Amino acid sequence: MPIMAAPGEIQTETGEAPESMPGEIITVKSYVTHTVQPGESLSKLAQMYYGDYKKFDLIVKFNGLEDATSVQFGQQIRIPEVDGFPFLAEGKARETIQAEPPESLVKVEKTPSEKKAVVEEQPTVEDQLANYRELGIELFENKQYAEAISEFDKVLNANPKDAVTREYLAKSHFQQGLVLFNKEDYLAARGEFETTLDYDTTCDKCEENIKKCEEMYKNAHYDKGLSHFENEELADAIREWELVDALDPTYKDVDKNLKKARTLQERLEKIKRSKTKDSQE
């Protein structure tokens, strides 16, 4: 049975480590051949055969692909049945072929014409962008908004006017804003809602959520400042109120409280210096 393994993790009978085996140690029992259909990505194939879209890297490694986006319509992909993982084969029993080592593990000299054919089979930019977009949509549907944003950004870097991607980017940033708001990371959440407006100027809830983030941020740090002040933790109180003051100097009594806390802190520092001086004399 062929294996895929990191060079430093396997020793041959001669004691020398092999040099051409990438990835972790993976035992392949058999494989099926799948012809890529329109709209299919490696993550979709992983979901289809393994029941887990995150296992697309198994297909990448077994086929010796450069990355998860280097597939195109009509391409034949070998789906390995890996020891230790379920193999659904679209939910039906399918005939499997005895596995052979992936091409990436076998050193084969190609003729000039074969090398040319390999180059011509490389996916086009449009194919790559479609795969980035498809993977981004899958991540969005799985509520992995930050990861989805990363994939959608790859599409817009090449095609800033891609309407579908811009729509999903707006949705992703909005949902990520809600996630951060629930984690009480209010300024980061505000940034996500502001970015949503860059892609969707008609977002009705964005302005409302931006204001809500700012109010929650100011209120949280203002109250923390009051708590520190009551406990005579002047430095901490000043730090909390300075955060509020930087965002809105007119918020409640933050300006008045800051002046009071700074004055008290200065007086305490003078008393400490005076006591230190007296003790030295």
Residue 244 has pLDDT above 90, yes or no: yes
Q: Which two tokens stand for residue 217?
A: 């941020």
Tokens 């992995």 belong to which residue? 144
State the pLDDT confidence band at 16, using cuts at 50, 70 and 90.
Answer: low
Pick the CATH number of 124-202 from 1.10.10.350, 1.25.40.10, 2.40.50.140, 1.20.1050.10: 1.25.40.10
Question: Residue 20: what residue type?
Answer: S
Q: Are 124 and 136 in contact (CB under 8 A)?
A: no
Q: CATH 3.10.350.10: which residues of the chain?
A: 3-95
Under 8 Å between Cβ of 77 and 62:
no
Helices 254-280, 204-230: crossing angle, 10 deg rounding: 30
Q: Which residues pair with 33 in a beta bridge?
A: 78
Residue 41 is predicted with a pLDDT of 81
**How much of the chain exceeds pLDDT 90, in percent?**
48
Question: What average pLDDT does range 101-120 have in this prediction?
Answer: 47
Higher pLDDT: 74 or 62? It is 62
Of the spans 39-53, 85-99, 132-146, which averages the highest pLDDT? 132-146
Q: Beta strands 26-35 and 97-98: pairing type?
A: antiparallel
Cβ proximity of 58 and 76 under 8 Å = no
What whole-number distance in Å separates Cα of residue 265 and Cα of residue 272?
Answer: 11
CATH 1.25.40.10-classified regions of the chain? 124-202
Is the per-residue pLDDT at 245 higher than 90?
yes
User: How confident is the model at residue 1, as a pLDDT?
Assistant: 42
The structural architecture, per CATH, of the domain 3-95 is Roll (3.10)
